[in-house]
Structure 1
Amino acid sequence: MNIQKLLLLLFIIPLLSSSPHKYYLSLTQIEYKNESRSIQISINVFMDDIEIALNKKYQIDLQLTSNQELKNNDDYFKKYLKEKLHLKINDFPKEYNYIGKEYDGDLVYFYLEVENIDDIKSLEVENTILTTYFPKQENLLKTKIYNKYQSLLLTAKKTKGL
């Protein structure tokens, strides 16, 4: 390799590595548990993104994982998720219960459950989590219903499917 190519590489690599590009992605996993007749849902999102979205939407200061974290932050999470995640099972809208959340590194995991589901013939999911404040947000949806796996990538333009 000649010296000019080497110098060019040494100049370009630092520029590429320090470019302020961020990828916006959440993962929603939905699994039907036949033995408990329930659908269990877990959602993981980046902590800073959900914090920014809720702070803007509700004019609050969540300060997640700090000493000043709001004591009633679960109320805001529940309210936000009820607005942004909708399920239809067998063509009927279904409500889910908010079980809780946990922090792991820079992620927040939310746990939800739909009870008393005897049979699933069809499932439709609408997920607009974080798309209002982050137009490039992508919400990956993975399902396991009766040992059948499906995946779908939802965006601000394509908000529902399955």
Structure 2
Amino acid sequence: MRLTKLIGVTGLVLGLSFSGGVFADDAKASADEVMTKVQEAAAALKAGDSALAEFNTDGKWNPENKWVWKDTYVFVYDCDADKALAHPTLAVEGKTIMGIKDKAGKELFVALCEAGKQENGGWVSYMWPKKGETDPSQKVSYALQVEGQSFQVSSGIYSDDANVEELNAALAK
């Protein structure tokens, strides 16, 4: 198990749950919307990393970016290279990820990378503070490997009711 590598990772950790601005509206994304957006992102990135620029917005919440919607967004990372590749609300390109842990000590990207390598991707539950809060809440994220590439895409929702086992079982159908 790795330890968090540098203080700079702390900014990435906090930033993964906090946007650089205000959410576009108060609507909450659903698990189905998250899966659809992640699958669309994986398809867009299948040809290579040239589409990565679409995901970056210089760390500012931009509701005009198609990878940012309601209260969530799609982000891209490379498990093998241990780095963030693109994030629509943060300037994190190139930051290390594998040592990032949630508030309960779970290695977040280790779990996302394992889930994303499943045939249909996978869901991961972890404890993360919502935007503007310090206490962690349950967040569930869907991770999917980009076919033919070394990177994955993910997006998540906050939900006390989401059941990762049920979400993953639905993927197998």
Give the TM-score, by structure 1 length.
Answer: 0.29
Q: More strand by proportion, 1 or 2? A: 1
Give the TM-score, by structure 2 length.
Answer: 0.27
